[in-house]
Amino acid sequence: MQNILRATLIIATISSAIMTLIFGFEFIYLMRLPYNSEGNYFYEKDGIVFHDQDQIGAFIIAFVCLLVTSILYYCWWLVRKATSK
């Protein structure tokens, strides 16, 4: 039973870490865009408009994913410590 719990925690931690990286890179990408004075950036190739507020959303999602990753890693560490005795 402990092995299933440990494997589940490892998979969840890795998945959450990947999501943290994805949204973290998205946040960095959105920060580097040259927004105009109205807070918009128009990507002419695909016709996409990025708004300045998109940075906030990407940061919040990346931060929440980082917190979830930290909590899951701590839970995995506690389970590993309890089963190694």
Q: Is 52 exposed, middle or buried (0-12, 13-18, 19+ CB in 10 A)?
A: middle
Which two three-digit tokens encode residue 72? Answer: 């899951």
pLDDT reported for residue 61: 96
pLDDT reported for residue 60: 96
Residue 4: alpha-carbon gap to chain centroid: 25
- C-alpha distances in angstroms, 49 versus 4, 22, 28, 68? 45, 20, 17, 30
pTM above 0.75, yes or no: yes
> pLDDT 10s per residue in the chain (85 long)?
778 888 999 999 999 999 999 999 999 999 998 999 999 999 888 888 999 999 999 999 999 999 999 999 999 999 888 887 6
